[in-house]
Amino acid sequence: MYLLRMAGLAAVLVVSLLFAVFVGDQGPWYFAWVVGTIMIILISGAGAILLDAQQEGKIGSSSETEL
Amino acid sequence: MDMINPTVVDLSRFQFALTALYHFMFVPLTLGLTFMLAAMETVYVVTGRKIYKDMAMFWGKLFGINFALGVATGITMEFEFGTNWSMYSRFFGDMFGTPLAIEGLMAFFMESTFVGLMFFGWDRLSKQGHLAVTYLVALGSNLSALWILIANAGMNVPHGSHFDPETMRLQFDGFVKLIFSPDAQAKFVHTSVAGYISAALLVMGVSAFYLLRGQHRQFAARSFRMAALFGIISTVAVITLGDVLGREDYMEQPTKIAAIEGLWHTSKPPYEPWILAALPDDAKQENHFEIGVPFVLTPLIAHDFNTPIIGMHELEDAAGPRIESGITAVAALHRYQETHQQADLDLFKAHEADLGFGFLATRHAPNQDVAAIPAENLQSVIAQTKPDILPNVFVTFWSFRLMVFLALYFFALFAISAYLSLKNKLERNTLILKACMWSIPLPILATEFGWITAEAGRQPWTVFNILPTFMSASSHSTSYMVFSLAGFALLYSIFIAAELYLMFKFARLGPDSHDTAHGTEDYTAQYAVAGTSHASGH
Amino acid sequence: MELYTLLKLIWAALLCVLLIGLGLMVGMDMGVGTLLRFVGRNDGERRTALNIIGPHWDGNQVWFILGGGAIFAAFPTLYATSFSVFYVVMILLLFSMILRPVAFEYRSKADSHLWRASWDWAFLISGFLPMFIYGAAFGNILHGVGFHFGWTGQYYQDNSFFSYLLNPFAILCGLMSVALSVYQGGIMLMLRAENPIYDRARRYAIRGGLTAAVLFSLGGFFIARMKGFVFTAPVNPAMPASPMHGQHVDMVAGGWLHNYAAHPALWLLPILGLACMIGGTQAARMNKAVLAWWIGLGSWIGTIGTVAAAMFPFFMPSTTAPDQSLTIWNSSASAYGLTCMLVVALIFVPIILCYTSWCYYVMRGKVRTADIVNDSHSY
């Protein structure tokens, strides 16, 4: 099972690399879109998690958290 | 060749513009909201906090209201190529139909199938399974935009096709050229990311509304922060890609770029100003007044300091010989269609590159037959045709400027909002919150102006430099057009009224949760009870 | 056979498959829309009916979009001419097709009685009208259409649209297509609803199937007496796809039966259609809904197959300029375009079939009125 999963991940990795090489060569902006969109999602997600962390740090210190 | 009634052409253009702009009120939100939903759900799956699921579900509901109209009005576009632009579809369909059909196969099917699961599958799929479905919907809707924009790029820069005198149409011959054309690439990323901005500002604006009223504060603060970060990066990307797209137009569609910049005469680098505001007069072919920023135009367009940008008068002059050669091409092609003589075919081949300019001249020829132009009138026909190569400068110039000014405003708004959100200082800055709320429709407006710039700037062609718009329409009677226009006006008005009613209704109602003034832990605990109503079966 | 001819034939066959898929899947949803006001006597029942097709109607509607897209890409001249010749009905079809998605999404999102009743009527119109036009278009095409092409390839209409609206044979075909959709919609409701919806749906499905059988037989007599189109000189199937040159066509009474006379095995198609329409109603009577659903597929194959066998290789014959009639040979895309599309289709159609079936699998099971009313996410 573990081996199977590793093999699956390796296959995904190879396909992504091939995709990156081909599309990065033929269509740099398409590639930029893929990478950029993932980045946007991760950054906005991280922002939300940061908000959770900011609030957990503040709880108890004041009665009303400011947002 | 009988000319199509010019009123019918104008009405067809009006109807297409109306329905396309209407369709594009809903598409940007679909493109962006799907990825925002995916981002929210990702945080839910990673952290396991219920509030992010509520976010995905609530914004998903607004997405659904909007998605339905996006799909519905998209069908109109597919129909109209055939119903109203039959000559265009026959002439260009070999190349243009392919990306449209692939769009259906590859993207639209995916998006439409999985959107059902996204709404109905919350209790039937695992967390990860549902997240994957949400990503597939997002990917599907953006792939859909990709293929449509590839098709659109084909109209603007028809690389990957050649004219075939046997079938009297453009034959497709370059799949890779079409898909990876720089115009298609830049157009897709620019448009998709513009959609991200529209969605981000919708989420931000509605969240601002809650924060202003002190409702759903935890919910709104998280949505606001995600949207602000989403928006600021997207705005940077949209401006970058706008520049790439402008450069692409500069290389391939000089008339469009000259019209966008209101540039009647070839520029004098490096001083040439970038015009901030002017009143272009299409009839007199000049600007009535100009306010500009010196030294900006040349580097903005040519990306250096000493390349002159060709002005519209000079482009007209350069078109003169092409029109003359095109008239020869059309006349030879017509003779070839009737008698199939090799000599006519050879003559046509020699002038093939200017075919479109010959078509453009038919409007000024006696009985629309260029062969019937008397030798002494040739120069006057050419002179009459020259101004036809330009788009409407006033429209192109101003729609571009409004789009750019709005983009700069979004940049400022997102930057300030993201900063305030990260510093947790949102609620005391009610002015910014109000600005966010009132700015909700602006990105959609900006996208519409973008479309007007791109497509009005493509005129007078449907296939750039090859097929004039006045030849492309279906030869209907005016009454047909009145019938369809009246129907669209009625139906689309009902739709927009229903959409706005529901959007406002659900935005006011807010997420199904109760307010909490305390931390997320309380929220989660409380919501674990209140949220069970969702768990009922289907 | 030349490669180009083969490509044209493959795409014509695929078009048939799409038209069958469209009739079956979209027809099923449309049938539910048409029946909505009759099988559902109160709001809860109507919502149940809607939610039975709720998770799938959107995916099914794509068959319709795909049908349009495939005609555009594979047979651009046919797409350009047919959509434009039938302008008024096409616009009506379009209006009802765009009304449907909105009706689905909006109907149950507000509580007002007037709001919901209005959308219910929208379902009736947007279920009945498209299926009627779908069938009527076949009727008109069999009858022949008035158009010709100028030298640039611009086409001109020679008949007014009233002649297409008021053609009795077209009306018959339209009603038959509605009957088949009512049958399929009724069967779908039987599959996933409980009483009282189940019983009502069963009744309508039986009526729909029988009506379709009667109209189909009547249509056969019409076609046998009608003027069909035949080639008067041999035609090169691999010719450059232009309607302006290369064909000589005449109109002959009974011409649509020439293919049947040449290949008697083709008679199996109308027999299959008729047998399925009658057999399907039997299956519905015996409460075998799953069987009846699949028999419905047979009805569509029989119907579209019968028309295709009669007309081959004609797509849209012209009564005013028969030589310029659109056929498989003269209205297709280029060999290059057809090849590209074929490769894409071979890759994506299996993928589509996989995930579509997976979606049905995930959303399987009976839909209960009580669940629908309590769920804030349902239609």
Positive/negative CA dihedral, B226, B232, B236, B242: positive
Least Cα distance to B148 among B198, B195, B114 occurs for B195
Q: With an 8 Å Cβ cutoff, are A39 and B221 in contact?
A: no
Measure CA B246 to chain center.
14
Q: Is a pLDDT exceeding 60 seen at residue B526? A: no
What local confidence, expressed as pLDDT, does residue C247 receive?
A: 85
- How confident is residue B35, by pLDDT bands cut at 50, 70 and 90? very high
Q: What is the mean pLDDT of residues B75-91?
A: 89
How high is the mean pLDDT of chain B? 85
How high is the mean pLDDT of chain C? 84
Closest partner residue to A52 (CB to CB) among B142, B186, B520 is: B520
Q: Are C69 and C127 in contact (CB under 8 A)?
A: no
- Residue C232 CA to residue C238 CA, distance in Å, equals 18
- Residue B2 CA to residue B372 CA, distance in Å, equals 14
- How confident is residue B195, by pLDDT bands cut at 50, 70 and 90? very high
Name residue, tokens 């028999």.
C295
- Residue A25, chain B, CB below 8 Å: the answer is no
Q: Where are the domains of chain B?
A: 25-255+390-523, 267-309
Q: What is the mean pLDDT of residues B130-158?
A: 91
Q: Is a pLDDT exceeding 80 seen at residue B538? A: no
3-state helix, strand, coil in chain B (%, to 5): 75, 5, 20
Q: Is a pLDDT exceeding 80 seen at residue C187? A: yes
- How confident is residue B367, by pLDDT bands cut at 50, 70 and 90? confident
What local confidence, expressed as pLDDT, does residue C48 receive?
A: 76
% of chain B beyond a pLDDT of 70: 95
Q: Are C109 and C142 in contact (CB under 8 A)?
A: no
- How confident is residue B536, by pLDDT bands cut at 50, 70 and 90? very low
What local confidence, expressed as pLDDT, does residue A66 receive?
A: 67
Q: Is a pLDDT exceeding 50 seen at residue C221? A: yes
Higher pLDDT among residues C233 and B395, named by residue? B395
Q: Is a pLDDT exceeding 80 seen at residue C37? A: no
**B483: nearest CA partner in chain C:** C88
Range with the poorest average pLDDT among B272-276, B505-509, B512-516, C86-90: B512-516
How is residue B379 written in tokens? 């120069």
Range with the poorest average pLDDT among B225-229, B451-455, C83-87: C83-87
The one-letter amino acid code at C139 reads G
Q: What is the mean pLDDT of residues B74-93?
A: 89
The per-residue pLDDT for range C294-340, each reduced to its tens digit, is 988 888 999 999 999 888 888 888 888 888 888 998 889 888 989 98
Q: With an 8 Å Cβ cutoff, are C155 and B4 in contact?
A: no
Q: With an 8 Å Cβ cutoff, are C83 and B82 in contact?
A: yes
- How confident is residue B532, by pLDDT bands cut at 50, 70 and 90? very low
Higher pLDDT among residues B519 and A56, named by residue? A56
Q: Please report how the helices A28-58 and B6-47 are oriented relative to each other, as an axis angle in degrees rounded to 10.
A: 50
Q: With an 8 Å Cβ cutoff, are B189 and A52 in contact?
A: no
Range with the poorest average pLDDT among B77-86, B463-472, C228-237: C228-237
SS3 call for B296:
coil
The per-residue pLDDT for range C102-113, each reduced to its tens digit, is 787 777 777 777
| Distance separating the N- and C-terminal Cα atoms of chain B | 60
Q: What is the mean pLDDT of residues B60-70?
A: 84
Query: Chains touching chain C at 3 or more Cβ pairs under 8 angstroms?
Result: B
Of A22-36, B13-27, B246-260, C355-369, highest mean pLDDT: B13-27
- How confident is residue C374, by pLDDT bands cut at 50, 70 and 90? low
Q: Is a pLDDT exceeding 60 seen at residue B319? A: yes
How is residue C163 written in tokens? 């002649």
Q: Where are the domains of chain A?
A: 2-58
Q: Is C339 exposed, middle or buried (0-12, 13-18, 19+ CB in 10 A)?
A: middle
**H or E segment to which residue B14 belongs:** helix B6-47
Low-confidence ranges of chain A (pLDDT < 50): 60-63
Per DSSP bridges, beta strands C155-157 and C147-149 are: antiparallel
In chain B, what residues touch C161 (CB-CB under 8 Å)? 480
In chain C, what residues touch B504 (CB-CB under 8 Å)? none
In chain B, what residues touch A35 (CB-CB under 8 Å)? none
Q: Are C353 and C81 in contact (CB under 8 A)?
A: no
- Backbone conformation region of residue B123, classed left if phi is above 0, alpha if psi is from -120 to 50, else beta: alpha
Query: Chains touching chain A at 3 or more Cβ pairs under 8 angstroms?
Result: B
Q: With an 8 Å Cβ cutoff, are B42 and A43 in contact?
A: no
Least Cα distance to C61 among B30, B115, B96, B61 occurs for B115
Query: Chains touching chain B at 3 or more Cβ pairs under 8 angstroms?
Result: A, C
Q: Is B500 exposed, middle or buried (0-12, 13-18, 19+ CB in 10 A)?
A: exposed
Residue C318 makes CB contacts below 8 A (sequence gap 6+) with: C144, C145, C146, C147, C148, C324, C325, C326
Please count the other Cβ atoms lying within 10 Å of the Cβ belonging to residue C314.
24
| Distance separating the N- and C-terminal Cα atoms of chain A | 46
Q: Are C197 and C39 in contact (CB under 8 A)?
A: yes
SS3 call for C327:
strand
Least Cα distance to B133 among C194, C36, C55, C187 occurs for C55
- Residue A9, chain B, CB below 8 Å: the answer is no
Q: What is the mean pLDDT of residues B92-112?
A: 87
What local confidence, expressed as pLDDT, does residue B518 receive?
A: 39
The one-letter amino acid code at B169 reads R
ipTM: 0.84
Closest partner residue to A29 (CB to CB) among B186, B226, B519 is: B186
Residues B78, B80, B86, B88, Cα dihedral to 10°: -70
Closest partner residue to C87 (CB to CB) among B91, B476, B536 is: B476
For chains A and C, tell me whether 3 or more CB atom pairs sit within 8 A of each other.
Answer: no
Closest partner residue to B495 (CB to CB) among C51, C102, C363 is: C102
Q: Is a pLDDT exceeding 50 seen at residue B193? A: yes
What local confidence, expressed as pLDDT, does residue B517 receive?
A: 38
Q: What is the mean pLDDT of residues B413-417?
A: 92
How is residue B87 written in tokens? 């000559």
DSSP state of B387: G
- Residue C222 CA to residue C211 CA, distance in Å, equals 17
Closest partner residue to B120 (CB to CB) among C88, C340, C363 is: C363
Measure CA B427 to chain center.
35
Higher pLDDT among residues C45 and C220, named by residue? C220
Residue B327 makes CB contacts below 8 A (sequence gap 6+) with: B357, B358, B361, B365, B370, B373, B378, B381, B382
C187 to B155, C28, C130, C297: CA distances (angstroms): 45, 8, 19, 12
What is the DSSP annotation of B74-87? Answer: HHHHHHHHHHH-HH
- Residue C191 CA to residue C293 CA, distance in Å, equals 9
- Residue A47, chain B, CB below 8 Å: the answer is yes
Residues B163, B166, B167, B171, Cα dihedral to 10°: -30
- How confident is residue B68, by pLDDT bands cut at 50, 70 and 90? confident
**B108: nearest CA partner in chain C:** C62
| Number of residues that make up chain C | 379
The per-residue pLDDT for range C246-304, each reduced to its tens digit, is 888 888 888 888 888 888 888 888 899 888 888 888 888 888 878 888 988 888 999 99
DSSP state of B311: P
- Residue C356 CA to residue B110 CA, distance in Å, equals 9
Q: Is a pLDDT exceeding 80 seen at residue B280? A: yes
Segments of B186-293 assigned E as strands: 274-281, 286-293
Q: How many residue contacts between B and C have a Cβ separation below 8 Å?
A: 284
Range with the poorest average pLDDT among A20-24, B41-45, C11-15, C325-329: A20-24
Name residue, tokens 């339905």.
B68
pTM of the complete model = 0.87
Say if residue C101 is preceded by a cis peptide, omega within 30 of 0: no
**B233: nearest CA partner in chain A:** A40
- Residue B366 CA to residue B331 CA, distance in Å, equals 13
Name residue, tokens 């004219």.
B163
Q: With an 8 Å Cβ cutoff, are C355 and B1 in contact?
A: no
In chain C, what residues touch B89 (CB-CB under 8 Å)? 72, 76, 79-80, 83
What local confidence, expressed as pLDDT, does residue B445 receive?
A: 93
Task: Please give the angle made by the CA atoms of C248, C249 and C254, to the nearest 5 degrees.
Answer: 155
- Residue B425, chain A, CB below 8 Å: the answer is yes
Main-chain phi, psi angles of B288, to 5 degrees: -75, -40
Name residue, tokens 């008729």.
C274
What is the DSSP annotation of B123-188? Answer: TTS-HHHHHHHHHHHHHHHHHHHHHHHHHHHHHHS-TTEEEETTTTEEEE--HHHHHT-HHHHHHH
Name residue, tokens 């095995």.
C265
The per-residue pLDDT for range B241-271, each reduced to its tens digit, is 888 888 888 888 889 988 888 888 888 888 8
Closest partner residue to B105 (CB to CB) among C102, C348, C374 is: C348
SS3 call for B293:
strand
What local confidence, expressed as pLDDT, does residue B528 receive?
A: 35
How is residue B403 written in tokens? 């789009």
Q: With an 8 Å Cβ cutoff, are B52 and A48 in contact?
A: yes
Q: What is the mean pLDDT of residues C346-375?
A: 76
> Of C94, C99, C372, which to mutate for an interface test with B (greatest number of B Cβ within 10 Å)?
C94
What local confidence, expressed as pLDDT, does residue C365 receive?
A: 66
Q: Is a pLDDT exceeding 80 seen at residue C367? A: no
What local confidence, expressed as pLDDT, does residue B531 receive?
A: 33
Please count the other Cβ atoms lying within 10 Å of the Cβ belonging to residue C379.
24
Q: Is C100 exposed, middle or buried (0-12, 13-18, 19+ CB in 10 A)?
A: buried
In chain B, what residues touch C121 (CB-CB under 8 Å)? none
- How confident is residue C378, by pLDDT bands cut at 50, 70 and 90? low
Residues C334, C340, C343, C348, Cα dihedral to 10°: -120
CA distance B521 to chain A (A): 9
In chain A, what residues touch B180 (CB-CB under 8 Å)? 26-27, 30
Say if residue C168 is preceded by a cis peptide, omega within 30 of 0: no
Q: With an 8 Å Cβ cutoff, are B520 and A39 in contact?
A: no
- How confident is residue B42, by pLDDT bands cut at 50, 70 and 90? very high
